[in-house]
Amino acid sequence: MKIAYVSYQIQEKYTSATVDEDKTLLDFLTNKGLSIERVIWNDPAADWKSYDLAVIKSPWDYHEHIAEFKQWLNHLESLNVKLLNPYERVSWNMDKHYLAEIAASGLAVIPSFFLEKGDRLDLKVLTAHFNTEKLIIKPCISGGAKNTYILTAQNFADHEVQINELLQEEAFLAQPFMPEIHDGEWSFLFFNGTYSHSLLKVPKDGDFRVQSYLGGSVNVQEGLDKHVETAAAYVEQYARGCLYARVDGLIVNGELNLMELELIEPYLFLDTHEEAAENYYQALSANL
């Protein structure tokens, strides 16, 4: 079986400052004897019909070319190329409106309010809705903290015009600023629905963004069993049939609250656990 290992045209702004996970994992899988090769998702020269299976690993710029990415998914499906993760889950997961569905199921999610395309941002309405003085606002289709703002009454005038201009182009998600972010954002990794490993991502002093290229740090830690069980509940209900899932959340009043369920192109932090790459390989092998 010939496998496409789907990546992107490398851009430094998306690259981890520590480990080239894409190359390390690809080498690991190749050494296991798999017929697998890196293919850029929007490379016009790519011969997708020559592959039996495509694994979405790191098309980290997809949100900047969303219409083209959707066309690529449709093209791949028309060729009957099996996709991991499945087409339906990828399409569902690319828009953060999915958080409303998860919250409606009763699972804990950071409170969210959706501003649809064409809406105008009213800070007073949102701060009253969340009973808070500080908000986070970000696009419903985005990645890497792009166009993510922290808003207060003091800085609102600095961002109001720009955000309302962006709202004419796309929908946004508003959430209360959660002070628990300073304690770190947990990530729980699952392969084929089975828990593999976890870690804690901590923003640099004075920031709230945990991405490594924005100064965040990764702390290797095993989550408490009860938090692993909670993370598994999101995966069981919303990531069935997925090769990989990353559950990102905060511990609020002793309970895991979901920030995002990553099913498209999450960094997997395979270097933080000695069995992680093998866990991934075993999960992939089960899909061959």
Residue 213 has pLDDT above 80, yes or no: no
Average the pLDDT over 191-215 and give the result. Answer: 74
Counting other chains too, the contacts that 203-212 makes at CB distance below 8 Å and 24 or more residues apart are 208/136, 208/150, 208/177, 208/181, 208/182, 209/145, 209/148, 210/181, 210/184, 210/185, 211/144, 211/145, 212/16, 212/17, 212/18
Residue-wise pLDDT for 1-44, tens only, equals 999 999 998 654 445 444 589 999 999 999 999 999 999 999 99
E strands, 43-153, are 53-56, 82-84, 113-115, 135-139, 149-151
pLDDT of residue 12: 47
Residue 135: band (very low, low, confident or very high) from pLDDT cuts 50, 70, 90: very high
Rounded distance, CA 274 to CA 256, Å?
Answer: 25
Average the pLDDT over 75-85 and give the result. Answer: 98
pLDDT of residue 127: 95
For the stretch 130-143, what's the b/e string if a residue is b when 16 or more beta carbons lie within 10 angstroms of its beta carbon?
Answer: beeebbbbbbbbbb
Domains of the chain, CATH where assigned: 2-93 (3.40.50.20), 113-177 (3.30.1490.20), 180-285 (3.30.470.20)
pLDDT of residue 20: 86
In terms of pTM, does the model score above 0.75?
yes
Rounded distance, CA 142 to CA 150, Å?
Answer: 16
Residue 163 has pLDDT above 60, yes or no: yes
Q: Cβ-count burial of 95 within 10 angstroms (0-12 exposed, 13-18 middle, 19+ buried)?
A: middle
How many other CB atoms are there within 10 angstroms of residue 22's CB atom? 19
pLDDT of residue 209: 53
Rounded distance, CA 156 to CA 150, Å?
Answer: 9
